[in-house]
Amino acid sequence: MDMTLTEDQAMIQDMARKFAQTELAPVAEKLDHEGDRALFLSNLKSLAELGFMGLNVDGEYGGAEAGTVVFSLAITEIARACASTAVTMSVTNMVAEVIQAVASEDQKNQYLPKLCSGEYPAGGFCLTETTAGSDPSNMKTTAVLDGDEWVLNGAKQFITSAEYAGVFVVWAVTDKNQPRGKGISCFLVENNIPGLSVSKAEKKMGQHASATNEVLFEDCRIPKDALMGELNQGFKVAVGELAGGRIGVGSLALGIGQAAMDYARSYITERQQFGKPIANFQGLQWMLADAFTDLEAARLLLMNAADKKAKGQPFSKEASMAKLFASEKANKACYTALQLMGGYGYIKEFPLERYARDVRITSIYEGTSEIQRVIIARELLREIA
């Protein structure tokens, strides 16, 4: 098995790393503590211009055609500098991918170039509701056909980038008489249209620069041709795209964990106690070894899932394994790094407390760790059925 990156993959990874370290890292603390929407959106625009908002989108629609492996590598590099930027990039790529996968040719031509170029600062993925989190099939949002228009009513919760997204992919019930999950359809809805409103951003524990909002639909009328894909077949589209999104979240978690441990590793070589650097103490060396081993295992799981997806092979189980392991071990790595820093890790002047806050959500969104275990077990049992 050859895990060596191709020349193009290595080049794009290096491009992401350089952008992250020169443009994102110097302002990450400012964005976290103070917020600067203009600066944040400017960085997103720059990423789009470099090709990072359509990494797995065909060139004819303005995409980079770089593939899933590069998507994972790039998200990791961006997350090492700014998790808020990384999650926005990840979700926008998800939106672009689902449009490319199931939209009509007219819809692709209308929306993909705007997402890939940065004309739309971001895309919104509207699936979660108050009663439909781990169980999205229980959604209450409805779409009713009225002449040549669909009328949307309902609310979507915890939507990344909602207040500055150019277009939303929205799931809604279109046939209440079908079994749960069978009568759901998918729509493309532009932002700032009558009947659509975005609530103020949630005050979150971490990833402060990225807006997370509730999106409300109140007799929101959209064209009949806003339907994306087949009528009443939208749920399997959501399930399929979530699997790919888990590669993004796992990669994001990995980047945060790596940043935390890199910072702590440098710190313990300089910090002295009992007359020598604390890096000389075996107990701390073991903490360092365990954390880096876990992160390397996470990287390999992510590369395996990304490679399977890129080759068109089944990857749902592998994506859940990678997301579960990477998010859990990145959380642990941030805790370990903070412990290695001692009291300084708890001080806002140092980035460890930000890493610890930013990483926590990775074991929750795109499917909690508990849901990932359900998916993994289900797939394992299906293999012998």
The residues carrying an active-site annotation are: 366
Amino acid occupying residue 4: T
Instruction: Please name the residue that has the structure tokens 């493309």.
Output: 188
Amino acid occupying residue 177: N
Phi-psi region of 166 (alpha: psi -120 to 50; beta: other; left: phi over 0): alpha
Amino acid occupying residue 80: R
Collect all residues with Cβ–Cβ distance below 8 Å to 45 and sequence separation of at least 6.
118, 121
87 to each of 122, 178, 202, 255, 296, how far by Cα in Å?
11, 34, 15, 11, 21
Strand, helix or coil at 18?
A: helix
Residue 106's Cβ-side half-sphere holds a number of Cα atoms within 13 Å equal to 6
Confirm if 55 and 47 have CB atoms less than 8 A apart: no
Confirm if 32 and 354 have CB atoms less than 8 A apart: yes
Instruction: Please name the residue that has the structure tokens 């790529």.
Output: 93
Tokens read off for 299 = 């990287």
Listed residue (111, 130, 126, 124) closest to 163, CA to CA: 124
Instruction: Please name the residue that has the structure tokens 């997204």.
Output: 165
190 has which bridge partners? Answer: 167
In the chain, what is the straight-line distance between the N-terminal and C-terminal CA atoms, in Å? Answer: 29
Instruction: Please name the residue that has the structure tokens 């797939």.
Output: 379
